[in-house]
Amino acid sequence: MDQIDRPWLKAYDPDVPPTLDYEKIPLFKFLDRAAHKWPKRKAIVFKNWSVTYANLKTRSEIFAANLKAAGIRKGDRVALMLPNLPQTIIALWGVLRAGAVGVMTNPLYMETEIVHQFNDAGVRFCITLDLLWPKLDKLRDQIPVERFFVTTIADGLRFPLSTLYKLQQKKSGSAPKIPFDNKTILPFKTLTKGKDRFTEQRVDAEDPALLQYTGGTTGVAKGCILTHFNIGANVQQCHAMMHRLGRKKETFLGILPYFHIYGLTVCLAWPTSIGATLAPFPRYVPLDVLKGIDKLKPTVFPGAPALYISLLQQKNIDKYDLKSIEVCVSGSAPMPVEYMEQFEARSGGASISEGYGLTEASPVTHFNPLEGVSKPGSIGLPFPDTDAKVVDMVVGGEPLPPGKRGELVIRGPQVMKGYYNRPDATADVLRNGWLYTGDIATMDEEGYFYIVDRKKDLIISGGYNIYPREIDEVLHTHPKIKEAVSVGIPHEARGEIVKAFVVVQDGEDLTRAEVIAYCREKLANYKVPKKVEFRKDLPKTMVGKVLRRALREEEEAKLEARLKKQAAKKAADSETGQA
């Protein structure tokens, strides 16, 4: 293996080792150990329902036994199309224990996305929510699913809330009628009842645990093959890097969706390994989260900048006690320093540590030290046993010197085996043992990394390379701007020009001329947006990442429509002239 400098090792907290002695075990063994070590500790708390670790283990064994009885085989794909519920956690552990491969599916997916993912993965069974059934019902002849197991919110509640929920659904007419036939469409409880427990050890650490689909922000979603060891290694790396957590009983807020790899690893698998209590939230409602923090007293809040900023903007935030939060793990986008300071003040000093990851790496690869120097704007230091370097965006290869921009490449035990059924795409990103992330980054002298932009987001205007994130950062410093993002849009003469999409702070007025004048004060002329569009909100992923591609596609569609209109007019004028 080639030698590279690792300046980041000197910046590690004293308790963080540079390398780990990894346990190569099936992922569900972390649950089994928690159940053995803390049998009576609460594993999940949801509304008026809770379960201990010992009971959660038993439930997962019963679930796995019923899956096997229903016909699931080792390696079969099972889709979990669910929000954050206790049922999601039980189902995931049961699926993995049975030796099946989980396909975590976003409940908000459009029909075309569901059809693509289910067919691409070859999903045999689907576990879903009754509220999502109408969407799936329409697609049954387009997807390979043999059996659907349908749950309801009430399945994760105790009396009287379970009964009240059913009555409320009935009164409002919001309860979908599920055509249960006990052959192809079955109640979720079919998998949770009985006394048979599947305890047979048939899973190897190198077996696939998940086909985790990329968010599709860079094109058609691809299934990342993540093994039990890939995710298990990342769990052990999280524990090592965030060494302070787990010394006492922790409670993790589960706001990040479990169907996203960030939420699955950082809000479910890792906290399970340290015997933490999981507090799932099915959807993000700021007031519900504030009430939940006040009541549950969580100690760890994994999130994204958009979540923290949204909570800070709630007018009644002062009514709720946030001081139980000790650590915030932030990812998916840079956290503006002013909001970081505000949240730390509101929570009584909770540290917000920024990190970085991607689906292809299970996902976490970098993190700022818990106790050492945490550099705002930096994604931090590579995890133990994770090598990272910045290489030339065209030729790759040797690392660039500190401060130089290039593509971030990574290698480590958490990196996927490849994309499912896509050898060409796999060969494009996995080269000579390195994962090419597609992110443009720099590294400083101490080994802290900084994401500059996405390689595919790079704007080339009149021969100049323009990094949109640099423009975004300037826009975010304007006091009247709430959110902003810049994209490159097609231009006949310059190839591309910069367009800014801006969301104005409530109650403020802002003009295009003011935005451009502000940018002229802080940016080189070629970087200044040529166009500005004001919007009420920006399209985002479930973890708060702005979908820059969606905005660019809108602009490309507008240009195509305009060109077609011009061509039609030209043809009509030509015919008129001939007449």
Digit-coded pLDDT (tens) for 222-280: 999 999 999 999 999 999 999 999 999 999 999 999 999 999 999 999 999 999 999 99
Token digits for 143? 């997807």
For the segment 141-181, what is each residue's pLDDT rounded down to a tens digit? 999 999 999 999 999 999 999 999 999 988 888 889 999 99
Which has the higher per-residue pLDDT, 568 or 152?
A: 152
The arrangement of secondary structure in 26-204, i.e. its CATH architecture, is 3-Layer(aba) Sandwich (3.40)
Query: For residue 192, what are the CA distances in angstroms to 31, 83, 156, 195, 263?
Result: 17, 18, 12, 9, 24
What's the pLDDT score for residue 484?
94
Q: Would the CATH topology of 26-204 be identical to that of 458-562?
A: no
Domain boundaries, the chain: 26-204, 458-562
Q: How far apart are CA 384 and CA 414, in angstroms?
A: 11
Return the top range by mean pLDDT from 43-57, 200-214, 446-460: 43-57
Per-residue confidence at 391, pLDDT binned at 50, 70, 90? very high
Token digits for 44? 């999940």
Token digits for 67? 């899956």
Mean pLDDT over 527-534 rounds to: 94
Q: Which amino acid would we find at residue 377? A: G
Q: pTM here? A: 0.84
Per-residue pLDDT at 473 exceeds 50: yes
CATH superfamily of 458-562: ANL, C-terminal domain (3.30.300.30)
The candidate with the shortest Cα–Cα distance to 214, out of 94, 82, 367, 103, is 103
Q: Other C-beta atoms within 10 Å of 491: how many?
A: 16
407 touches 436 (CB < 8 A): yes
